[in-house]
Structure 1
Amino acid sequence: MTQIQSARSAGTVAHLRPAFHVRPPRGYLNDPNGPIELGNDVHLYFQSRPVLDLQAPVEWGHATSTDYVRWTLHRPAMAPRPGGPDTDGCWSGNTVLDDGRIRAFYSGRVEERPYQSVLTAVSDDGGASFGPPRQVVPDPSDGAIMFRDPFVWREDDSWWMAVGAGYAGRGASIASYRSDDLEHWTDAGPLAELPRGVVDGEDTGAAWECPQMLTIDGRRIAVVSSWSPEGGPGEALSFGVDGPPAPQRVDHGTNFYAASALRDSRFGPLLFGWLTEGRDRPGWNDDWAGVISLPRVVWLGADSSLRSAPVPTVDTLRTGPGVPADGCTTGPQCEIAVPEGPGRVVIHFSDQERVVIELDTDTLTVDRSQAGLGPHSHRDSMRVSDAFDPASGRPAARIFLDGSVLEIFTSAGRVLSTRVYPTSPPVWRVEAPATARFWTLDS
C-alpha cells in the first residue's frame, strides 16, 4: 500500500497531479463505488485500470481513510475472474454491511453479452478483497438499451436494489428489486422513469447510469447520471422519486459524473464523484487520468435541489491559521475562502494563464478560458445562480485547488467542479478581495 502524497514526480506536468484527492499512482480511474464505514475506517472503492488503455478490464481499486481527507491506497480489492461473469470487467456498484461483513453488488461485464449482469461478492477480510461473484438478478428481457450499476440499501425492514436502465420508447429508468436476505430478489417495478427530454437546458438522458438512493428529510432522493448511446456520459442529476421526476444538476461545473452515495456516515449523507479529465485524450501526457472528488455532505435546498458542502475534516488539511489571500503566492495545493461577495478571485498561473472566479450578487462564475496554453485543454466558463446564502454561516465561496482539480463550494450549497491545466509550474499568484483568506493545504 502507499500513502497519497504531494506530487514530486519528475517532469513538467508534476504540478498537475492532485495530492489530497483520491487517484491511483498510475492508470485510468473513473466511477467511485461503494463508500462504507467499518469501525473507524472508511473504505472507498473505484473503477480502475492499471494503464491508460481503455480496453483493459476494469478492477475495483481500494482506498481507506479515518478522516475522509487523508487516504491510503491498497492493492485492488476486486479483479475480473477469467471465464467468470465479470471476465471483462468489474463495473460499478455499491457495498453494504451484511452481518459485519462488507458485501458488494456490482455489474459484471462479459464482452459478447448485451448487458452487465448484477453480481454479488462478499469480503471476509474486512473489505480488502472479495470472494467469487454470483449473479442475483436476471438480465433484462424487455427491450432495455442499458442495464447496469446496482445500488443496494436497507429501508422498512427490507433490502432494496436500484439498477440503472433505459428502454426504447420509455426513456431513462431506475429498475428496482426487493429482498429479505440479500440473496433472493423480487422485481418491484421501476422507481422512476422519464422519457428523454430537456429540463432547464439539461438532456435528461436515454438511460440513467449509477443510480444512488438517499433519504433526506423523509424523502427518497435519487441521484443518477444521464447517458445516451450516441453521446455517452452527460450530467449527474437528482430528483425525488415520490412524484414525477424533476431532474436538477448536482454539480454546476464541467467535470463531475457518476456520483456514489454513502447514505449514513458520521457526517450524514455523503456523495463522492468522478472528476473527469478536462483535456482531450492526446493531452494525457502523464501516466494517469481521472480523480475522485472531495466527499460532500448533502442536503435539500428550498427548491428540492441537492446542495453540498465539503466534509468538515477538510479543514485539517490547512497548514496554518490563514493569511490575507490577496497577493499570496501558492503551490499546487491551496484553499481560498471569500466570506462575502461581490468579489473576484484570480489565480494567476503565469502572465498568460489564469482562472477567474467572479462572485456577483446572486451568481458565481468560473472562467477557465485562459487557464492553460496547452492545445488539448478545454476552455470555457460555467455559472450558477442562487449561489449565496448569507444566513448559512458558511463563506460565500470556498475554493479548493489541488493540482489540476478545482472545486468551489458556495454558501448556498452550490458546487462547481472543473479541471485546469496550466503549463507554467508554480509559484502562482492569488488576486482576491481584501477579506479573503488563504491556506496552503498539506495531505
Structure 2
Amino acid sequence: MSEKFRPKFHFAPRAGWMNDPNGMIRVDGAYHLFFQHDPDSTLHGPMHWGHARSTDLVNWEELPVALYPTELGTCFSGSAIETGNGELKLFYTAHQRHGDRDFQTQCLVHADRALTTFASEPGNPVVANPGIECFRDPKVIWHAGTARWIMAVTQGQSIGFYSSTDLIDWTFESAFGETEGRHSDGPWECPDLVAMRAPDGFEHWILLVGIGSGAYGHGSGGQYFLGQFDGHRFVNANTPETELWLDYGRDSYAAQTFFDRMGAAPVSIAWASNWTYARATPTQAFRGVMSLPKEMHLVETGQGLRLAQRVPASVKQAFAALAGPTGTYRQDIAVNLAVGQQTNIALFSEQAPHFIVQRISGASATIRTIRAGVTGMPDFAHDYAVDLAYPAEGPLALELYVDRGLVELGSSDGLVWITNLFFPEHPAGEVAIVTREETENA
C-alpha cells in the first residue's frame, strides 16, 4: 500500500493504530518487534499486540496480531524474555477501566519458539495491583548477580522493581525516581533496565524511562538514568536534578531494547511520535511509526559517562543503496564553523531551514530545530535549541536520515539525536545546506 508519508526503512503497520514498541526480543537470528496496536482503527482504542519480524533490522515482515484483549482487560505494553532452557515468555499489562479510573495488573503469556502461538498463564495476573492507578509496562530481565528475574514496572511517578525465581511469584524489592530526573503531571512509563560495559570495562546500568508530558522538546520524550543495580535497588550515579535525554526531538518515546542472549550491544527502538498530537497525524490507512534501531554504547565525556546511540551498519547500508529522489536518504554533513557562523539545513525543497547549527564559542555549539505548524495538529510547530560540544579539532559531524518526512539527525558520535516528524508537501524534495554569518537572516 502506497501513502505519501509511509516510510521505507522505519517500521509502520499496514493498517490501524500503533504506539509503544514492546516485547522486543532477538531469537534464532530474528528480531521480533511487538507493538501497541489497534488493528481496527487509526485512533488509540482497545490495545492488542501487533507483531513484526526482521533478520537485518531493515526489512520488516508484519505478522498476525499476537495478543488480544481478554477478560482481564486490554493488552498494554510489556516485554519478552528467553529462559535458560530456551522457553519464550511475554509479559504485559492487562488494562481495565473501573468507572473513571484505570485498573492494571501484570500478566504472563507462554509462547512457542517461533513466536506464532501464545497461551495465557492460568494463574494470571502474576503481579496483582498494589493499589496504584498507574501500574504498568513490565520490563523483565535476567539479573545474573542474584540469579533472579527482575521486573521494572511503572508506579506512577517512580519505577518499581520486583524479583522472581520462577516468573510466577514476584516479590517487591524497591522503587526509584520520585525525586530524580524530570517529572510532569503525567506518570513515568515504559521502563527498561540494561547492563552495559563502560570503556574501562566496568559494568554500569542504564534505566530508560518515558515521560508522557513535559519532556525536553515539549510533550512526551525519553530520559535515562545511569547508575548501579544490585538486584534490589537502583542507585543513580548522578545528582537527582541531572536530566539525561535519549533524544532531544519531539518524536522519540517509549524506547525499548531487544532481549538478546547473544550478549551483543543493546539495540533500541522508540515510537516516533508525541502524545500531544499523535492522534491527528495526516496518514490514511495507518497511524504510527517506529524510529530507526540504534545500538547503545557508553562513552566518556567531560560530564562523565553518557549514553551514545549509533545506527547499525545494515541500516546505513540500506539507505546508501537507494538512488534517485525517493524521499528516503542518508547524508553525512561535515560542519566547519568559525565562532559566530551557522549552517542552515533546509529539507523537502523548502526555503526556510529546519535545522540551524551555530558555533557559540570555541568549544560549544547549538542545533536549533524548527518546524512549521500543520492544520489540525495542535502544538505541532516548534522552535528551540539543543546544546552540544564543538570538537576541538576538525568539523562537527552530523548524520541525517530522512524517510518520507520522518527525520533523525545525529551528532557528537551518537551522543545527541533529534527525531522529528514532518508532513511536507514534497517528501521527496531536496536538501539544501548553506553556511553563513550569524548576523545574516536565516
TM category (shorter chain) comes to 0.7 to 0.9
* Structure 2 residue 13 is matched with structure 1 residue 57: no
TM superposition shift of 1:187: 1.4
Q: Displacement of 1:205 after TM fit?
A: 5.7
Q: Does 2:199 correspond to 1:212?
A: no
CA offset digits 1:352-396 (Å, max 9, x no partner): 5663352536334253334x76563822234322255578x9971
Q: What is the match of residue 95 of structure 2?
A: 109
The CA RMSD over aligned residues, in Å, is: 3.1
Which of 379, 382, 396 is equivalent to 2:381?
379
Matched, 1:237 2:237: no
User: What CA deviation, in whole Å up to 9, does each residue of 1:242-261 have, x standing for no partner?
Assistant: 23644421110011111112
- Alignment partner of 2:19: what SS? strand
Q: Using a 3 Å threshold, how does the CA distance of structure 1 residues 24 and 186 change in structure 2: closer, same or farther?
A: same
Equivalents in 1 of 2:128, 2:424: separation in Å? 48
Q: Which residue of 1 aligns with 2:294?
A: 296
TM-score (norm 2): 0.80
Aligned equivalents of 2:283, 2:54: Cα separation in 1: 29
Partners in 1 of 2:128 and 2:357 — Cα distance? 50
- Please state how far the C-alpha of 1:397 moved relative to its aligned partner: 0.9
Q: CA deviation at 1:78?
A: 1.2
User: In structure 2, what is the Cα distance between the partners aligned to 1:417 and 1:53?
Assistant: 22
Q: Which residue of 2 aligns with 1:310?
A: 311
TM norm structure 1: 0.80
Shift of 1:330: 2.9
Q: Percent of counterpart pairs with the same letter? A: 27
Is 1:40 the equivalent of 2:39? no
Structure 1 window deviating more from structure 2 (293-302 vs 393-402): it is 393-402
Tell me the residue number matched to 2:151: 161
- Alignment correspondent of 1:409: 410
> Would the aligned equivalents of 1:106 and 1:149 in 2 still touch at CA under 8 Å?
yes
Structure 2 counterpart of 1:368, which letter? I
CA contact (8 A) 2:320 2:330 kept: no
Residue 253 (structure 2) aligns with: 257
Tell me if the contact between 1:341 and 1:360 (Cα under 8 Å) persists in the aligned partners: no
Output the CA distance in 1 between the equivalents of 2:295 and 2:350: 37
Once structures 1 and 2 are overlaid, which stretch shifts more, 374-383 or 157-166? 374-383
Please tell me whether residue 339 in structure 1 is matched to residue 323 in structure 2. Answer: no
**Partner secondary structure for residue 336 of structure 1:** strand
Structure 1 residue 314: Cα displacement: 1.1
Distance 1:126 1:214 in 2: 25
Work out which of the residue numbers 261, 270, 275 in structure 2 matches 1:273.
270
Query: 2:64 and 2:220 mapped to 1: Cα distance?
Result: 30
Q: How does 1:151-190 map to 2 (within 5 A)?
A: 151-155=139-143, 156=145, 157-166=147-156, 172-190=157-175
Distance 1:402 1:348 in 2: 11
- Does structure 2 retain, via aligned residues, the 8 Å contact 1:32–1:274? yes
Measure how far apart 1:122 and its partner are. Answer: 0.9
Amino acid at match of 2:246: V
**Separation in structure 2 between the aligned mates of residue 70 and residue 395 of structure 1, nearest angstrom:** 31
Task: Report how far residue 125 of structure 1 moved.
Answer: 4.7
How far 1:350 sits from its partner (Å)? 4.1
1:390-438 Cα distance to aligned partner (Å, 9 max, x none): 78x9971110001121111113421111101102353x1222369xxxx
| Distance in 2 separating the partners of 1:315 and 1:180 | 40
The structure-2 alpha-carbon separation of the partners of 1:283 and 1:67, relative to structure 1 and needing over 3 Å to count, comes to closer
Q: Which residue of 2 aligns with 1:431?
A: 432
Taking the TM superposition and a 5 Å limit, the aligned residue runs for 1:25-104 are 25-52=14-41, 54=43, 56-81=45-70, 84-86=71-73, 89-98=74-83, 99-104=85-90
Q: Distance in 1 between matches of 2:371 and 2:162?
A: 46
Query: Following the alignment from structure 1 to structure 2, what is the Cα–Cα distance between the partners of residues 54 and 15?
Result: 19
Q: Is 1:128 aligned to residue 127 of structure 2?
A: no
Q: Aligned partners of 1:66 and 1:285: how far apart in 2?
A: 27
Distance 1:62 1:395 in 2: 39
| Alignment partners' CA distance in 1, 2:61 and 2:395 | 30
The answer to whether the 8 A contact 1:374-1:421 is kept is no
| SS of the residue 1:318 aligns to | helix
Opposite residue 235 of structure 2, the aligned amino acid is D
Give the AA of the match of 2:247. D
Q: Which residue of 1 aligns with 2:354?
A: 355
Aligned length: 396
Classify the secondary structure of the residue corresponding to 1:64. strand
> Which sections of structure 1, spanning at least 5 residues, go unmatched?
1-7, 167-171, 323-328, 435-443
Corresponding residue for residue 4 of structure 1: none
Change in Cα spacing, 1:204 to 1:73, as seen in structure 2 (3 Å) is same
Per the alignment, residue 169 of structure 1 pairs with: none
